[in-house]
Amino acid sequence: MKKLWGGRFKEKTSKAAESFTESISFDYRLWKYDIEGSIAHAKMLGKQGIIPPEDSGKIIKGLEEIAKEIEAGKFTFREDLEDVHMNIEAALTKKIGDAGGRLHTARSRNDQVALDLRLYLRAEINEITSILKSFQHTLIIVAEKYLGTLMPGYTHMQRAQPVLLSHHLIAYVEMLQRDVERFSDTVKRVNRFPLGTCALAGTTFPIDRAYTAKLLGFDGIAMNSIDAVSDRDFAIEFLSASSILVMHLSRLAEELILWTTEEFRFIELPDAFTTGSSIMPQKKNPDVAELVRGKTGRVYGNLFALLTIMKGLPLSYNRDMQEDKLPVFDTVDTVKSCLTVFKEMFPGIVFNAKRMNDTAGDAYSTATDIAEYLVKKGMPFRKAHEATGKIVLHCIHNGKRFHELTLMELKTFSDIIAEDIYSCLSPEESVRNKLSSGSTSVKEVKNRIKRLIKLIGEI
């Protein structure tokens, strides 16, 4: 078949070159947005009198019929037509005749693909954000269910201070909220209208870019025609926000994996989201969490792929930019699948509240509370820190826990210690006594959960 751009060429494109340069094998998924953009473009061309109004009507009707054919699985995408744009335009021209050939007036594939990708990303970011919020709600429901459960908080993977399990869980809600905000902010850059900038220099036709942008729901127009066709910052920003999101999911996955081990015994994952061993009958493996952790590297790779593609490109459009779609498409799919599987898995996780409570006070985790007790009695913090360290060392040497020390033993470290010190030695009291905003007390956690629910609902 003759290429739509073939007027200047004497030779046919080789089969090897066709196969090497085609993008229809992956950019076919932009068909909905290509048709949406083309319908808006046709309306503008007709309104401006650039093409006859009756041709505009024919184009719109033809595109709507093609959309129905694709949805019904009756449309064949052809490799020899290179990409989604050429496939749809060729089908349109075959369907309605010469009127179809007028659609590409005052546009290029350069600004057309920039439009399609922006429309696609805008829709996918909205869907990702919706799944994100749903997962946040799931985490909050689990946090509320286990509001009275303590656990050891960690620094350097060493038991540090007792915290509420709910406080730990909503730390991830906070992370995900930043992800929601990042995606929301990214949409501001995605939602800039590039169509009408053509190949790179604009057009001599009296087009109305503002009208077309309004039809398609864009917030503003890209104001430099060279930048508009060569910009992929918005896609890189999406990949960057996605990389941060999957980093958060990977951290959560790592904790779930650790918590399922016999060494921790903090949780049991639901059978439906685990697998067994082909040789060891007793095994229950956290494969879903491990795969989320593994897919993080995949998303990072997509970000670096597009950064590398763009890093040396002169203005304006270059064919290298065809390679932008696979990293974007793969990231969209990966992020959505990771979020969805975690959202569905979490309600079935059983937390071993007794084990977590029992370990919350181990490893002298209320030592900081003793130091703060001494400070409240008038001792400078550095001296209080030293005295508490000596109490810990005494306990280690004598195989005792804090609450097993007699008042006489405690007074050997400071005579300002009194009977009331025992009120700050238990993990329960440690958590209960926290006063600072954002801390791990039940009151603060409840308040933050209320605010998060409101915040998630607002964005």
335 closest CA partner among 118, 182, 156: 182
Judged against a pLDDT cut of 80, whether residue 189 lies above it is answered with yes
Mean pLDDT of the chain: 96
Q: Which of 14, 156, 397, 437 is flagged as catalytic?
A: 156
Residues 191 and 287 in one domain: yes
pLDDT at residue 241, rounded to an integer: 98
Domain annotation covers residue 301: yes
Q: Which of 90, 105, 120 represents a domain boundary (last residue)?
A: 105
Domain annotation covers residue 438: no
Q: Are the C-beta atoms of residues 258 and 250 closer than 8 Å to each other? A: no
Q: Kindly state the tokens that stand for 179.
A: 């992800």
Q: Which of 298, 326, 353 represents a domain boundary (last residue)?
A: 353
Q: Are the C-beta atoms of residues 150 and 431 closer than 8 Å to each other? A: yes
Judged against a pLDDT cut of 60, whether residue 10 lies above it is answered with yes
Say how far apart CA 115 and CA 121 lie, in whole Å.
Answer: 10
- 158's enclosing H/E stretch is strand 158-164
Domain that holds residue 131: 110-204+224-353
Q: What's the CATH code of the domain at 385?
A: 1.10.40.30
Q: Are the C-beta atoms of residues 343 and 135 closer than 8 Å to each other? A: yes
Residues 174 and 246 in one domain: yes
Read off the pTM. 0.94
Residues 90 and 115 in one domain: no
Domain annotation covers residue 441: no
Domain annotation covers residue 1: no
Q: What's the CATH code of the domain at 189?
A: 1.20.200.10
Q: Which of 130, 134, 277, 423 is flagged as catalytic?
A: 277
pLDDT bin (cut points 50, 70, 90) of residue 21 is confident
DSSP secondary structure string, 73-132?
T-----GGG-SHHHHHHHHHHHHHTHHHHTTTTT--HHHHHHHHHHHHHHHHHHHHHHHH
Residues 261 and 140 in one domain: yes
pLDDT in tens, 87-97: 999 999 999 99
Domain annotation covers residue 211: no
Residues 239 and 371 in one domain: no
Residues 345 and 398 in one domain: no
Judged against a pLDDT cut of 80, whether residue 67 lies above it is answered with yes
Say how far apart CA 345 and CA 287 lie, in whole Å.
Answer: 12
Q: Are the C-beta atoms of residues 328 and 302 closer than 8 Å to each other? A: yes
Q: Which of 353, 383, 412 represents a domain boundary (last residue)?
A: 353
Domain annotation covers residue 430: no
**Residue 445 three-state SS:** helix
Residues 168 and 230 in one domain: yes
Q: How many distinct structural domains can be found in the chain?
A: 3
**Residue 161 three-state SS:** strand
Residues 169 and 191 in one domain: yes
Residues 96 and 117 in one domain: no
pLDDT in tens, 252-299: 999 999 999 999 999 999 999 999 989 998 999 999 999 999 999 999
State yes or no: is 248 an active-site residue: no
Residues 283 and 379 in one domain: no
DSSP secondary-structure letter at 275? B
Judged against a pLDDT cut of 70, whether residue 4 lies above it is answered with no
pLDDT in tens, 352-384: 999 999 999 999 999 999 999 999 999 999 999
State yes or no: is 156 an active-site residue: yes
Domain annotation covers residue 399: yes
Q: What's the CATH code of the domain at 73?
A: 1.10.275.10
pLDDT at residue 2, rounded to an integer: 63
Judged against a pLDDT cut of 90, whether residue 234 lies above it is answered with yes
Residues 97 and 139 in one domain: no
CA 40 vs. chain centroid, Å, equals: 30
Domain annotation covers residue 447: no
Tokens 């449309």 belong to 75
pLDDT in tens, 291-342: 999 999 999 999 999 999 999 999 999 999 999 999 999 999 999 999 999 9
Residues 327 and 421 in one domain: no
pLDDT bin (cut points 50, 70, 90) of residue 18 is confident
